[in-house]
Amino acid sequence: MKVPAICTRALLDLAVAVIGSLLLVPGSHAEFRQFEMTIEEVELEVAPNFRAKVWGFNGQVPGPLLHVAEGDDLEITVHNLTSLNHTIHWHGTYQTNSWRNDGVPNITQKAIEPGETFVYRFIADKPGSLWYHCHVNVAEHLGVRGMWGPMIVDPKDPSEIEKEVTKDVIMMFSGWDSDVAKEYGKGGHPRDIPDYYSINGKAFPLNQPLRVKEGDVLRIRLFSASSETAYHLHGHDVLVTHKDGLPLDSPYWADVVDVPMGARVDVIARMNNPGRWINHDHIEQHTSNSGKMPGGAVMIVEYEGIENDDWYVWKDKDASYDPDFYLTETMKKPYGMYDHAGYKGQPIEQKPGNKKKKKKKIPQPETPAE
Ligand code: CU
Ligand code: CU
Ligand code: CU
């Protein structure tokens, strides 16, 4: 009598343990998640001596990181605090049975007017490196006003190589146009030519090094938000694993990776070659700040333990180093929506410097110009 009873209890305990462990697998059950986002008029410092007026999601460029699990039920309330209309398109999501949340003005919704609020509700039905952007007058709003941000949806079934990743790295490439940067409502004409380029909203040297250690396995998520990119990392080949969030049937090795406009490409880079390595957009025009080189879409991978030579361009970076500039730290946090202080713009009103300069331009014969 006793033996079968013990067996039954053991079996029951085992069953409970198995079910419990299944429930603990990340992403194995969907959650309802609510977020709140604003759109704000701020001025962004993109490069030395270059600032652009932007419409920043939560006042920043890129917009806040949205990190959720496949299958999550999302409700995102958006407040338009600016003087023009906007929407948000969740680029990559299928919007199955929720097409009215696709964020296209006059097609799936009326644009969100100044002072208005709109609630998006949809299931994160496609995993991978997705993003979001405004879909009103995209040539300006997405093209030169910073209206884009990352949305990472963790897959229910990650591939084997994804499980090896020690550092997630998000790099969003964009172009800027100084001719229209100071005036909302301008920009995006087919003949406009960008003259500044950036990674995560900052041109070299205002962006940050990526600090790694030997043995790290990086997953670099490349986003061509408003500038196409030929991404090149010196000293390493990278394994291209995903395109637009979709796992490739045959991942391939490369040392220059094309990322067409709007696309995302995920690559795996094994940190097996200690040193200090540049990585950059290989479209040469994208590596200057309005003609001044080096600049634009350039940054440096620094291995731990490599000494700073006194001629190294970023030898003084320690004081201002931001370990989360590529959202590596934020990606380790629980699912959620996260702002990043280093991406914030400044309120437009705060520019006493400019006002003073304008006053000085009024001809005053007795005042020396310099
Ligand atoms: Cu917009
Ligand atoms: Cu899009
Ligand atoms: Cu190079």
Å from CA of 12 to ligand 2 middle: 50
Å from CA of 105 to ligand 1 middle: 10
Cis peptide leading into 294, omega within 30 of 0?
yes
- Report the DSSP beta bridge partners of residue 314: none
Å from CA of 57 to ligand 1 middle: 10
Residue 6 has a CB neighbour count (10 Å cut-off) of 9
Å from CA of 298 to ligand 1 middle: 27
Å from CA of 232 to ligand 3 middle: 7
| Structure-token pair, residue 52 | 């652009």
Identify the pLDDT of residue 362: 44
> Nearest bound ligand to CA 226?
2
Å from CA of 91 to ligand 2 middle: 5
Residues with CB under 5 A from ligand 2 (ion): 91
Å from CA of 261 to ligand 2 middle: 9
> Nearest bound ligand to CA 231?
3
Å from CA of 369 to ligand 2 middle: 48
Å from CA of 87 to ligand 1 middle: 6
Å from CA of 136 to ligand 1 middle: 5
Å from CA of 133 to ligand 2 middle: 7
Cα 87–Cα 349–Cα 146 angle in degrees, nearest 5: 35
Å from CA of 340 to ligand 2 middle: 22
Identify the pLDDT of residue 319: 86
Domains and CATH numbers, the chain: 166-323 (2.60.40.420)
> Nearest bound ligand to CA 93?
2
The helices-and-strands tally (H runs, E runs) of the chain is 3, 21
Å from CA of 129 to ligand 3 middle: 25
DSSP result, 97-141: T-GGGS--BTTTB--B-TT-EEEEEEE--S-EEEEEE--SSHHHH
> Nearest bound ligand to CA 255?
3
3-state helix, strand, coil in the chain (%, to 5): 15, 40, 45
Query: If you search the block for the tokens 């023009």, which residue do you land on?
Result: 84
> Nearest bound ligand to CA 143?
1
Question: Among candidates 172, 182, 177, 181, which has minimal Cα distance to 195?
Answer: 177
Å from CA of 140 to ligand 2 middle: 14
Q: Considering the entire predicted model, what is its pTM?
A: 0.87
pLDDT tens track, the chain, 370 positions? 444 444 555 555 555 444 444 444 444 579 999 999 999 999 999 999 999 999 999 999 999 999 999 999 999 999 999 999 999 999 999 999 999 999 999 999 999 999 999 999 999 999 999 999 999 999 999 999 999 999 999 999 999 999 999 999 999 999 999 999 999 999 988 889 999 999 999 999 999 999 999 999 999 999 999 999 999 999 999 999 999 999 999 999 999 999 999 999 999 999 999 999 999 999 999 999 999 999 999 999 999 999 999 999 999 888 899 999 999 999 999 999 999 999 999 998 644 544 444 444 444 444 444 3
Å from CA of 298 to ligand 3 middle: 9
